[in-house]
Chain A
């Protein structure tokens, strides 16, 4: 069976520091998996390796059965995996629709020149993440943290992914904004999107995931149903601070 995302014995060393320690897991089609763990546990490092932003020391990363370990980030995105960042990274002088336009661009100079932007799709994506029509020409400096996360989601969705990696997607958001993003994720789950979600907001995360993986010091310490992982003694002592 070829999983949308399959990770085997992933190891990443920075000198003497082992940031990812023999991590193995897979995600089934349409499944949503949460990754939890204390700060510095190595959650984002796993995302960066999946996207090819940093190269693993050893281990394999497969997307629909294809080993993508040697591919560039843009090649991986074209194969269907895309991510958001812990700190949103918008294009500061561009409007909401222009930011989304970059995500919709083909990776070919010639195609960029001869084909016009798909303005309907840009607007559709912006509206789908909860922007109002009056927001479309606003620049990132005029947006709240919630709007920036929505923009990040929209630009990621514009790359047409089938597997989405969401990094701290609820950080810095108000209760209302969390509900808005959560509803969007639920809708995308219904549409068949596969998710890997990192979040410290366990309450918001729980209804969005089928299973959870707890990580500490680069290695998996628990894996399974969200409730079971939360009840795990090692997780409670290392992450939740309770025994």
Chain B
């Protein structure tokens, strides 16, 4: 795996710092960080699928939505306890991941991206018209069981979930699986020509991505206590996930976290200045600027600085 002592030091410092944050940060800031944590989870999930394998998904909320709606329906309509509904939601989302995988066996590039966008739109329409007595139709479902009360507890829940996912994915991606998934993104034919099955690798990537999306989606609704299709299956939400991963640094684990925090705080910073949708115009411009001048993201800037500090090359 090539683990070094400073990896443990950095992770320990990161985890320690995150857990000490409620001592210093206001409740308002903690609430902002909670959203950043969930966005980081979704961005990591997107990155496992798209950042690594190069199969760009424009409809990641499709998977998040499956997890979110499954647990919401199970708890609200069938009185299933949360400790059962969340694992069930994750399994159902993984089945959804297989649905996303199907087109990836035959198409790639912009065609695949469009199909995933269609999945999201389809899901949006379905939850509104199919059995609205279960899904809540256009209004969604409110009054869901919440896992925590108050900003501090919500923060600890979201940061724990985010850190567990991030650390697990970081360890997994440092194995040869991470190298093989990245290889698919660079040249799928050469992966096949190296004696590996791209289908098996994609299957793994899509299921892992769906697992994280399902887990994140399920915890997210049980943090919010409600679910609304218009907010979930919205193109802005889909692009925010993608932009977080890209400007942070695709094909990394820290990158999507950095990107998620950067974007969430940027939007919060802009809120008093531009309270309307104009905020997204500014954040789009910032993302475009960063992406044009540093396509490998903020993580690359950090790594270059680190390499310069150590006097080595990346």
Contacts and interface: CB of A to CB of B under 8 A. Distances in A.
Given A89-B189, A102-B191, A116-B1, A107 B197 contact: yes
A105 B187 contact: no
B176 A159 contact: no
21 contacts: A72-B197, A73-B195, A74-B197, A77-B194, A91-B186, A91-B187, A92-B187, A93-B182, A102-B179, A102-B190, A102-B196, A103-B194, A105-B179, A107-B196, A107-B197, A112-B175, A112-B177, A112-B180, A113-B175, A155-B194, A159-B195
A168 interface: no
The SS class assigned to the B binding surface is: helix
Contact of A77 (B1, B183, B195): B195
Contacts of B201: 109
Given A101-B176, A105-B176, A112-B175, A74 B183 contact: no
Given A90-B187, A103-B194, A117-B176, A109 B182 contact: no
Contact of B190 (A91, A98, A116, A158): A91
A89 B190 contact: yes
A78 B197 CA distance: 11
A51 B190 CA distance: 12
A94 interface: yes
The 5 A-B residue pairs with the shortest CB-CB distance in the complex, in nearest-first order: A77-B195, A112-B176, A91-B186, A89-B190, A159-B195
Given A74-B195, A109-B200, A92 B186 contact: yes
B27 interface: no
B194 A105 contact: yes
Q: Which of A82, A89, A92, A156 has the most CB of B within 10 A?
A: A89
Interface of B: 1, 172, 175-177, 179-180, 182-183, 186-187, 189-197, 200-201, 204, 313
A196 to B, nearest CB: 15
Q: Which of B175, B192, B193 has the most CB of A within 10 A?
A: B193
A137 interface: yes
A130 to B, nearest CB: 20
B176 A93 contact: no
Contact of A113 (B172, B183, B187, B196): B172
Given A91-B186, A92-B187, A109-B200, A98 B179 contact: yes
A148 to B, nearest CB: 12
Contacts, number: 82
A163 to B, nearest CB: 13
A146 B277 CA distance: 54
B195 A109 contact: no
A137 B191 CA distance: 20
A219 to B, nearest CB: 27
Contacts of B195: 73-74, 77-78, 82, 103, 105, 107, 159
A64 to B, nearest CB: 17
B172 A74 contact: no
Contacts of A131: none
Contacts of A82: 193, 195
Contact of A105 (B180, B182, B189, B204): B180
A115 B194 CA distance: 18
B263 to A, nearest CB: 24
A109 B187 contact: no
Given A73-B192, A77-B195, A94-B182, A137 B313 contact: yes
A85 B192 CA distance: 13
A83 interface: yes
Contact of B194 (A53, A102, A113, A117): A102
